[in-house]
Each structure stands twice: as structure tokens, then as C-alpha cells.
Structure 1
């Protein structure tokens, strides 16, 4: 005859508990207990702590010993079969407690297939009014013992309790090991996936960079390389001699505002002769370099070929105080006005003058900028030297002179701006008082 306790489907009962894997089933009220005959109190076993779900332990549990080895035969699923009624041995003549039987699952008289079907439905009451799954006994699949504390159901004998406690400890250990193994495997898998994702991301970025580089290179090939001119050294400022050799644009009929400004700074007298102080003024708004003009005056007057020859005198430029005379660079119109103050007409040939009735020696800016035909454009430096020496010579008291020897250097006091030939005698242009040094 088959043992009902060993014919349970799946080898072990499903466990229904609050918050467990199967959830709390809609249990029916437990069948009323019949008062049992007074029994001597025995040592109560502590309440059983629900262990891990059987499906986690099934792969690790060793088969339980059969009846005749260490105890009663174990039913499939590791639950021993006992014919002892819950709550201890029944005294002789005492009535059997309701809901108990030889099956060990509450003693339901329902057939095995009906009980199994009810078991699979999650612990509904078995046919026949059995309350095998009601109350706290649902945690272990057994009915509650009448003398168990707090209504917890106990096993029929102490051997089953010992084996259950051992299985609980061992099951928890194995469950922890299994959980750790699963966690490790998951961590390895996730780490591998993350590493693969990073490698793929790096590969994609490298591919994108390569594509961009190739695209840039292809675009660079299409563009013409700009031709850069070789760097040239910074141009040095022109020297004094170079500036003095140049012509500057200026209108021969230009007329300025008639106001003047002194060129700042001083040039001390270089010689030991009689010191003559002078100031250099430039008409305001005149588009000529006043500093260049002042330098030319200082160099020319203190040259040994000029009026300072032999240490007779020395010239010093000042910008403040009382000078002996004022050399003034002015427009043709303004020059004419100041020369007229001394009875001189400079408008006919657009020439310069020494306005003796004033303190100004007037230098016509047009002649300073353009020169004269007698010297030509290639002798601008020499012409400017002659212009300074001639007009300052008038201030020093020298009158006009003419050339007497054909081909000789014209005297510096000759009106070389107008002509180099006088009375049929032609002379060479000459800027110096003592041309032979």
C-alpha cells in the first residue's frame, strides 16, 4: 500500500508564509481542537524558525535515512512520517483528535489527488472540513500542536526537530554560498559588459576621429596652400642724408595760417668762437618735418665750410628765451607777407628773404620742399645747405655777390635760386661760404 506521505507531488510541500515566495494563501479557519487528556509537561522545543525555501536546498540536501536506520522513514521532501498524533502520544481510550491521521498532513480523509490539487491551489481547506493548512501550521505543512507555545506547530518527535534544525542551519549556509556565487557571477558579467561597452565606445571614438582626420585631410588636399611671402627685415628709418636728398610735395601758391610754433629742444654750440643763439619756428599746419629742418640748420651753420669756418663763431639752437634771430620755415604766402615788412617782394620768383626789419629769417617752404632748377632734383641736399647759408649770411651782414670766373663755384651770396649765369659768366652751384674747406 503506497505511503501517502511519500506520494506528495514534487517531493516536498509548497511553503506559504507571509512575505514568502508563495505569498499568504486564503487559509480557512482551523478545525476546533478537542480537549486532550492531561499529559505530563515535557520540555518544550523552541519555536521553529522558517528555513530557506526547499527548492534552494534540494540540490544540496543528502537523502534522509529510511525507517529502520536512524528513525522513521522520511517522506519525499525531507519530512518524516509519523503515526503519532500531534501533541504527543494519545492515552489509551482517548478519542482521536479531529483532523489527524496517518498521512501527516492533518489527517484529511480526502483522496491523494484531491489533496494534491488543493495543495497546488495554495493551501485551501481539504474536502471533509480539514483545517490542515489553517493558522500557524501553514508554515510547516503540519497542524498546530495543542501544547505548542504561541500556537506554533511542532513535530511528532524530537528526532525530526533535530534534523529540521540542522537542515535549517545548513540550508542557510548553502543559501548564502549560492547567493554569493550568483552575485559574483552577476558582477563578473556586468563588469564584462561595462568593459565591452567602454572598449566599443573607445573604438567608436577612434573611428570617428580617424574619419574626421581623413575628411580633414581630404579637404586640405582640395584647398590650395596659401603662398606666404618671405619675411622681410623691418625697414630702417631713413637717415638724415637720405631725407635731405628727397623732394617733398608742396603747392607753390600755398598760404598758411601765419602763426608759428618753435621746434622743441636745444642744440648746444659745438665751437669756441662767438656764440650766436637762434630759434627755429615752423608755420602751423605746414606738412613738412620741422625737426629735420632744425637739424639741417644746426649742422649747416656749424660746418667748417660755413660761417663758423676757422672758429670765427659757433651757433646754438634754443627753443625758449631771447634768440639773436629766428629762422622761420613758412608757406610761400606767409613768406611774402613777412618779407614785405622789410620792403622785399618774394612773390615774383617765389624766393626766400631776410626780413631785416624783424627778427625773422624767412625760408620759403616751397623752395625747401622742391628745390630749384639751377641745382636740379639730384642736388636737393646741397641746395638746402645753400638756402640756409645765403639767408643767414644776410642776417650776419653780407650782401649779394656775383660769379666772376667762368666754371668756378658760385659765391654763396649769389642768388643761385634765380640763376648761375650773370653777365655771361656761368658758374657751378655751390652751397658753402668756404667751398675748399
Structure 2
């Protein structure tokens, strides 16, 4: 086989030598370019040090998406603490004002000992099944509120013990608006007009309207949800203990806890301030 550089045995021709020399120069030039590129690439690689202090040729604002994701995830709290009792008590919860749930009740919260002295009042906490609310929070709120010295345990005259099941002096019950209305009607009370709670005295149940528990009232506003829930418990249990409604005595005074504070804070031209406690000056 004959190739372009001459015969198989003879020396290459002048043209062939010239062409070969040209190819030699071309090869040298290509090698030089390759060497330069290798140096540039090596320099760039050297800048991207594994200790993270270098940067790529794209400029200092360029970030590896993987590193960015790691940074973002590192900023998130990995072990966020659950909300405290006070935080949950101050938080409104969504609930339909016209909701009627199952009509069936179950005890919540378990047993809790009476922490004080005096006459022991035993109560149970029930919650209507199907309510999208925290029954344990409600049970805790009842026990903490009633046994506060500003409440009906004031002065050691009585103390409240929660029983997990069975008989009790009364059953404080968290129920949907529709079910609350049914149970209040058993004692001749109409709670549907203002969507309120009641002590259904002809039954064992002190009814707490879940809508009010979840959403509060305009008289307290969203910033006093915690205080409103304490008032709600104290007011209705106050009825169970034989207390009647009271009115605002003078403008600027604290409202009596037995005032119908869910509905209004003004009576006979006198406007009181919201108040959760029967004995507010105890602390």
C-alpha cells in the first residue's frame, strides 16, 4: 500500500519533508495550547479548595445549590419546643359558630388531685366527641383556674379534685354550639341567641360552648383570649356554686365575674373592665 509520504522504501520527497515539518509545527502549537489550558484549569481547581475558603471562576456570589440547601436546613430549629400552656391558652382556634357535633361525651384529662384545703369539690371533665379541640388543654385549664386562689378556691374554703370517671358533684362539659343549646334547654335556658354557655342546673352538666372557648368574645378581643377562657370557667362554675348574675357597679371598675361579660361590659351606663376572677385582688 502506498501512502502520501513517498514510496515504501525510499526517503521522503522535499514536498513530503515540507509537509511533515508543517505538521510538526502544528503539533507543537497544539501541545502548547493544551498545556496552557491545563494550567488554567488546574488554577481554577486549586482555587476551589475543600476547606471552602476558595471560590470558582464564576465570582464570589456564586453558591453551590447543595451547599445553599444545607445552609437553609441548618437555619431551621431541629428541636423546636412545643408551645407552652400559656401560649396555647392565648391562641384562638377555628370553629364553626353553627357546629353541632356527635352529641356524645367522653371524659378527658384523667384524674387530678385537689391541691388545696377546705371542702373537696369533685368534678369530671367531659368533651363532646368529634370536636377538633384539645381536650387535655381544656381539662388542664379547668383544674388550674378553679384551684387558683383568685377563683372559687379562695381562702382555702374549698378545693377542686378532678375525677377520671364515675360520679362527681358536677361535670364541666366542652360541647359544640348545637349540643350546648340542647343541654341548656333541658334547664329552660336559651343559649342560641348569643351563642353562649350555661350551667344546666337540672342536669349534672356545666356546659361550655366550644365556639366561645375557641373564638372568645368581642368584649375581650383577640388579645385577652387567655383571660376570657378563665372567666368562662369561673362564671359558669359560679352558677353551679349558687351565684347569680351581677351588674357593673361603676365605670372603670373591674367587672364582677358573674357579670355576663360575653355579651356586654356596660350596665345602666356604667362600663367595667374585663375581669376573670371572683377575687381578683388575691395576687
TM > 0.5 fold call:
yes
Pick the aligned partner of 1:323 from 139, 162, 168: 168
Pick the aligned partner of 1:232 from 76, 95, 115: 76
Alignment match, 1:352: 197
Alignment match, 2:102: 257
1:436 is paired with a residue whose SS is helix
Alignment check: 8 A CA contact 2:199 2:207 kept: yes
Give deviations 1:343-387, integer Å, cap 9, x for gaps. Answer: 000000000000000000000000000000000000000000000
- Between the aligned partners of 2:117 and 2:185, the Cα distance in structure 1 is 36
* Per-residue deviation, 1:257: 1.0
Alignment check: 8 A CA contact 2:109 2:140 kept: no
* Per-residue deviation, 1:262: 0.4
Alignment match, 1:151: none
Alignment match, 2:231: 386
1:309 maps to 2:154: yes
Alignment check: 8 A CA contact 2:112 2:161 kept: yes
Give deviations 1:181-235, integer Å, cap 9, x for gaps. Answer: xxxxxxxxxxxxxxxxxxxxxxxxxxxxxxxxx9xx8xx9899622131343321
Alignment match, 2:19: none
- Between the aligned partners of 1:380 and 1:339, the Cα distance in structure 2 is 24
Residue pairs, 1:169-188, within 5 angstroms: none
1:293 maps to 2:138: yes
Give deviations 1:310-352, integer Å, cap 9, x for gaps. Answer: 0010001111221110000000000000000000000000000
2:280 is paired with a residue whose SS is coil
Alignment match, 1:273: 118
Alignment check: 8 A CA contact 2:109 2:135 kept: no
Alignment match, 2:186: 341
- Between the aligned partners of 1:224 and 1:401, the Cα distance in structure 2 is 68
- Between the aligned partners of 1:355 and 1:320, the Cα distance in structure 2 is 20
- Between the aligned partners of 2:63 and 2:244, the Cα distance in structure 1 is 72
- Between the aligned partners of 2:166 and 2:132, the Cα distance in structure 1 is 26
Could you list the runs of 4 or more consecutive aligned residues of structure 1 that deviate by over 6 angstroms after TM superposition?
A: 220-224
Give deviations 1:255-277, integer Å, cap 9, x for gaps. Answer: 11100110142110001110001
- Between the aligned partners of 1:362 and 1:281, the Cα distance in structure 2 is 10
Alignment match, 2:20: none
Q: Calculate the aligned-residue CA RMSD, in Å.
A: 1.7
Alignment check: 8 A CA contact 2:119 2:157 kept: yes
Alpha-carbon spacing, 1:403–1:224, altered in 2? closer, same or farther (3 Å): closer
What is the TM-score normalised by the length of structure 2?
A: 0.75
Size of the aligned set, in residue pairs, is 221
- Between the aligned partners of 1:283 and 1:381, the Cα distance in structure 2 is 22
1:418 is paired with a residue whose SS is coil
- Between the aligned partners of 1:297 and 1:318, the Cα distance in structure 2 is 12
Give deviations 1:23-76, integer Å, cap 9, x for gaps. Answer: xxxxxxxxxxxxxxxxxxxxxxxxxxxxxxxxxxxxxxxxxxxxxxxxxxxxxx
Give deviations 1:101-140, integer Å, cap 9, x for gaps. Answer: xxxxxxxxxxxxxxxxxxxxxxxxxxxxxxxxxxxxxxxx
2:281 is paired with a residue whose SS is coil
